[in-house]
Amino acid sequence: MGDRRRAVPGTDRVLSDPGVAAAVERLGHQLVVRTVREVAQRARDGLLDPEGVVTETLAALPRSASGMRPVINATGVLLHTNLGRAPLSRAAREALQVAAGTTDVELDLDTGDRGRRGASAVEALLDAVPGAEDAHLVNNGAAALALAATALAADREIVLARGEMVEIGDGFRIPELLTSTGARLREVGTTNRVRLDDYRQALGADTGFALKIHPSNFVISGFTAEVGVAELRELAVPVVADIGSGLLRPDPALPGEPDAATTLADGADLVIASGDKLLGGPQCGLLLGRADVVHRLRRHPLARALRVDKLTLAALEATVRGPRPPVAEALHRSGLAERAAALADSLAAAGVPAEAVDSGASVGGGGAPGVVLSSAAVALPARFAKQLRLGEPPVMARVERNRCLLDLFALDPDDDEALRRAVLAAH
Ligand SMILES: *Cc1c(COP(=O)(O)O)cnc(C)c1O
């Protein structure tokens, strides 16, 4: 035993191996040393041959200095909050690379003076939504709501329908977010019905604005009535609309989903949306609307605490100006059944009990609630779900009626081969 312990190479000797030294360049000293020590301890404990310490260290090293791993989304939920919502377009990823360095994010290169931070991202939004006089960006949709409530209604009232008091997920409730800013809520109507007169009667000297919230993760059906932005504009107060999902223009694939251009044309003074839902960009909150309102938000002291970083600005601009991002591609793609059939055939030929089936995908992540999108999947025995999740790369499937479904809706066709290999590895 003592001999064995002495045969375990010291940390410095392992670090001098060219492969391990290259890993230090890539991952940093600390991460590599920690792995070397763990592996050496296993060798000292007799769990590993001392000769194998270098090889085992190289195998055990993390792939990158960040613990976040790419995951294949075969859930059929297009915007999966646990998977980081929208995957970015190639153009946005390239923009991130550039933005990661030193950039002109807040500099006017012509004059050498300070420039307006993120001006080109705002311009991209205004080009995409000409009905908006101005735009401002914050960290996410919730931050946009908090800024609007603080700047336009602190110590005053926000009038909103009872049926639009939404909990957005993970226990976060929009009404609580709004009151945490010091604004007071004035609920009108009942859970299922509200009329313009309900709003009108609630208005007073204390009203900051009327708020319309898109119930983005549930549907109320039956005996219902709501008041749209086009009617709310008749009230003598500003109208703020939280549309949630961030569609900038109507999308025929999702006819029931509100969009920024239409909501502004209907008369909203301010539209609030997320950047990483149906817009398909990075996490951020969009505020679009009347120039004087947006100016007030931008100049409010809280705005500085909610401002987005250069990475977000770059990725959003590239998403808005560049080619259709993956989320929009997925919504308009055909040929899913053919892909599922080809994948199932190829897996079956390798002995995997796989079968192509019709499937129903969803937008998820706060968009198009209740809408079932026609999709296709490969069905496997349920036991595959866990093996696939623990594989490399991890695959998230959907377990339904005791089967593991690999839904192709959210998957780029270029990733079908990676999915096939992951299933074979899990077999
Ligand atoms: C998703 C959502 C939010 C919160 O947006 P985040 O970007 O997740 O902070 C707010 N309102 C509605 C209607 C939403 O759908």
pLDDT digits (tens, 9 = 90+) for 62-87: 889 998 999 999 999 999 999 999 99
Average pLDDT over residues 219-224: 91
SS3 content of the chain, % helix, strand, coil (to 5): 40, 20, 40
At 141, the amino acid letter reads G
On whether residue 2 sits in a domain, the answer given is no
Q: 275, 344, 279: which is closest to 313 by C-alpha?
A: 275
Which of 242, 245, 263, 286 has most ligand 1 atoms within 8 Å of its beta carbon, as the pocket-test mutant? Answer: 242
On whether residue 1 sits in a domain, the answer given is no
216 lines ligand 1 (CB under 6 A): yes
On whether residue 216 sits in a domain, the answer given is yes
Distance 270 CA to ligand 1 centre (A): 15
Q: How far is CA 340 from CA 308, 375, 381, 411, in A?
A: 40, 9, 16, 11
Using the 3D structure, point to which of 322, 340, 374 is the last residue of a domain. Answer: 322
Using the 3D structure, point to which of 303, 322, 341 is the last residue of a domain. Answer: 322
Distance 142 CA to ligand 1 centre (A): 6
Q: Is the pLDDT of residue 1 over 60?
A: no
Place of tokens 């009667």: 201
176/267 same-domain check: yes
Ligand 1 atom 11 nearest Cα: 244
Q: Is the pLDDT of residue 198 over 90?
A: yes
377/290 same-domain check: no
Ligand 1 atom 15 nearest Cα: 244
| DSSP β-bridge partners for residue 211 | 160, 240
CB of 291 within 8 A of CB of 260?
A: no
Distance 140 CA to ligand 1 centre (A): 8
244 lines ligand 1 (CB under 6 A): yes
pLDDT attached to residue 360: 97
Number of H helices and E strands in the chain, helices first, is 19, 15
3-41: burial string, b at 16+ Cβ within 10 Å, e else: eeeeebbeeeebbebeebeebbeebeeebbbebbeebbe
409-418: burial string, b at 16+ Cβ within 10 Å, e else: bbbeeebbee
Point out the ligand 1 atom lying closest to the alpha carbon of residue 215.
Answer: 13
| Strands 172-173 and 184-188, bridge-based pairing | unpaired
46/115 same-domain check: no
303/342 same-domain check: no
Ligand 1 atom 12 nearest Cα: 244
| Strands 270-274 and 285-289, bridge-based pairing | antiparallel
Q: Is the pLDDT of residue 222 over 70?
A: yes
Distance 65 CA to ligand 1 centre (A): 30
**What tens digit of pLDDT does each residue of 228-255 get?**
999 999 999 999 999 999 999 999 999 9
Count of structural domains, the chain: 3
130/260 same-domain check: yes
CB of 283 within 8 A of CB of 140?
A: yes
283/339 same-domain check: no
On whether residue 403 sits in a domain, the answer given is yes
Extended strands (E) in 156-237: 157-161, 167-169, 172-173, 184-188, 207-213
79/117 same-domain check: no
Q: Supply the CATH number for residue 243's domain.
A: 3.40.640.10
272 lines ligand 1 (CB under 6 A): no
Place of tokens 């030294």: 21
Point out the ligand 1 atom lying closest to the alpha carbon of residue 213.
Answer: 13
Q: Assign 144 a pLDDT band (cuts: 50, 70, 90).
A: very high
Domain that holds residue 23: 11-60
356 lines ligand 1 (CB under 6 A): no
Q: Is the dihedral of CA 150, 155, 160, 162 positive or negative?
A: positive
Q: Assign 181 a pLDDT band (cuts: 50, 70, 90).
A: very high
Distance 144 CA to ligand 1 centre (A): 9
Point out the ligand 1 atom lying closest to the alpha carbon of residue 172.
Answer: 4
Counting other chains too, the contacts that 17-22 makes at CB distance below 8 Å and 24 or more residues apart are 17/54, 19/54, 19/58, 20/54, 20/57, 20/58
φ, ψ of residue 114 in degrees (nearest 5): -65, 135
| Strands 167-169 and 172-173, bridge-based pairing | antiparallel
312 lines ligand 1 (CB under 6 A): no
Point out the ligand 1 atom lying closest to the alpha carbon of residue 214.
Answer: 13
55/96 same-domain check: no
The pLDDT > 90 percentage for the chain reads 92
Distance 392 CA to ligand 1 centre (A): 32
**What tens digit of pLDDT does each residue of 352-399 get?**
999 999 999 999 977 888 899 999 999 999 999 999 999 999 999 999
217/173 same-domain check: yes
What is the C-alpha to C-alpha distance for residues 147 and 157, in angstroms, rounded to an integer? Answer: 15
On whether residue 186 sits in a domain, the answer given is yes
Q: Supply the CATH number for residue 397's domain.
A: 3.90.1150.180
**What tens digit of pLDDT does each residue of 319-351 get?**
999 999 999 999 999 999 999 999 999 999 999
On whether residue 5 sits in a domain, the answer given is no
369/246 same-domain check: no
The structure tokens listed for 380 are 């496997």
311/374 same-domain check: no
pLDDT attached to residue 249: 97
